[in-house]
Chain A
Amino acid sequence: MTAAGEAAGDNLVELLRTEGRKVIATLARLTGDIGLAEESLQDAIERALIIWPKQGVPDRPAAWLTTTARNKALDRIRRESGRPDRERQSAWIRTTPTPSVEELHDLLTESVIGDDQLRLMFTVCHPALSREARVALALKTVGGLSTTEIARALLIPEPTVAQRVVRAKRKICDAHIAFRVPPDHELPARLQTVLETVYSIFTAGHHPAEGALDGRLDLALEGQRIAGELARLMPDEPECVGLWALTLATHARSHARVDADGGAVLLADQERERWDHASIRKADSLLRSVLSSRRPGPFQVQAAIACVHGLARTFAETDWTEVAALYALLFELQPTHVVRVNWSVAVMEASGAEAGLLILNRIDRAESPQVERWHLYWVTKAELEHRTGQIAAGLASLEQALACDMNDADRALLERRREERAQSRGAPLPSDG
């Protein structure tokens, strides 16, 4: 193939991926089975790869793919009607009239496609599925990622991903999890599960549990894309917009927090010209647009914090009083140890280390032993102790931090800090030798 031919091929693959992502939800609704929808979409894509290069891309590729995939689904059901899981689907064939291609073209409006995508999101993020299953299934269906790509992104073996996805799809079918957006009175709780699933996809990419700090940014971008999609589909839900803003403002600083050797760069030391200021401004204006709804939520507040940092021209110009006030609000909405630790840092910057330590020390380690294994708790404690002159206690906390699990960049940074602190603690007195 010529270079130009290869480029056209790549474009075609990308186009099919984008259009496929659009129609998978509609196919899932039409067939009532996510697995069958995926299989028949794959058949349709294979057909498109043969026909489109010869006849050109059709005017409405999404409708073409849907029609073709729908027919492929019918073929599959007829061919495999002996399979027990095809039984319910064969009832679908008998009861559903086959629309013509033209009819389907007219039916497939943007709003129909949008409604289907929303249905799919709520279905794959149903609380009756485990968190791990929701993340894998959302990446597979809403993100359009392959099992191999998901395994690489989540750092789990491919057979594990495949098993999780298959089990989740089977449960949706067998337990009759309805393919729909929940009614208003159930929406707040169900939306929370969707938002958390999307955020854990973003976080797994933005701050990987192990390996290089910027090794999974493609996954973070996928999380951001899904968050954007969700905000577009539910513009009246301030938390959807808040999550999108949060991913934008956070990802905007991704590149500047890693140095040339892959080491972590602290917020104070980042080259702010390397931030994506357009994304930060976009996040800020998104947040302003939902402020008037007066329905604050954890994602909006976290996004607001990210925006205060993002809009400060230098570290010294950061409005720490504002950040500390936002963390106080966040703690009211979400009283977790993670929020308290970050709040204590903001208070330290705004009002001094003594005040910060007061906030942090309200965590009772006897009551919450899990913080013992969390490096950021110990790092923060070490810093607050160091700044209040408790040098030995600070060093001991730093040792505790290094005993926890963390990614390579964080570890390198902490080891460097321990060395500096140990040295500045003073060269041993001559009499020691």
Chain B
Amino acid sequence: MPRYTALIYEIPAFANPESAEFQAIMGEYMAFGDAASAAGVMKGGEALMPVPTATTVTVPGGKGGEPLTADGPFAETKEVLTGFYLLDCADLDEALKWAAQIPAAWTGGKVEVRPVIDFSHP
């Protein structure tokens, strides 16, 4: 059975988490998640932190070269998103170290690293 990654693009909104609007849309996401899980389709998914937390890494010198790090998301138009990994790391430095080893990073592409929102806090 093929596996697909659904990447969610939308206009970033800074909605108040307490507002009815936000609660409603979160409810819709939950409902989708429940439905997809019940159908056995859902394999995992995450909500990402806002764009300002993104860091982009590329290794112009090829494999093992000095990584170039930049603030912000990846915004070129020629390349397209071709996949994503979920990495469990202690901090940004460790995540960037791994990201720099993803082939796309050292074969002319770029890898955007964005923290995942942790909903498990008390």
Contacts and interface: CB of A to CB of B under 8 A. Distances in A.
B52 interface: yes
Contacts of A189: 66
Interface of B: 17, 49-50, 52-53, 55, 66, 69-72, 90-93, 96, 113-115, 121-122
Given A128-B55, A129-B71, A189-B66, A175 B49 contact: yes
25 contacts: A84-B17, A87-B122, A88-B121, A126-B92, A128-B55, A128-B69, A130-B70, A130-B71, A130-B72, A133-B71, A167-B52, A171-B52, A174-B49, A174-B50, A174-B115, A175-B49, A175-B113, A175-B115, A176-B91, A176-B115, A177-B91, A178-B90, A178-B91, A182-B93, A186-B93
A87 B115 contact: no
Contacts of A177: 91-93
Looking at chain A, what size class is its interface with the partner chain? Answer: 20 to 34
A186 B69 CA distance: 13
Nearest to A170: B52
Nearest to A166: B52
Given A170-B52, A175-B113, 7 more contacts: A84-B17, A126-B92, A128-B55, A128-B70, A174-B115, A175-B55, A175-B92
Nearest to B49: A174
Given A175-B49, A189-B66, A87 B121 contact: yes
Interface string A155-179: 0000000000001001100111110
Contact of B92 (A88, A167, A170, A176): A176
Interface in A85-125: 87-88
B53 A171 contact: yes
Contacts of B121: 87-88
A121 to B, nearest CB: 15
Contacts of A215: none
B56 to A, nearest CB: 9
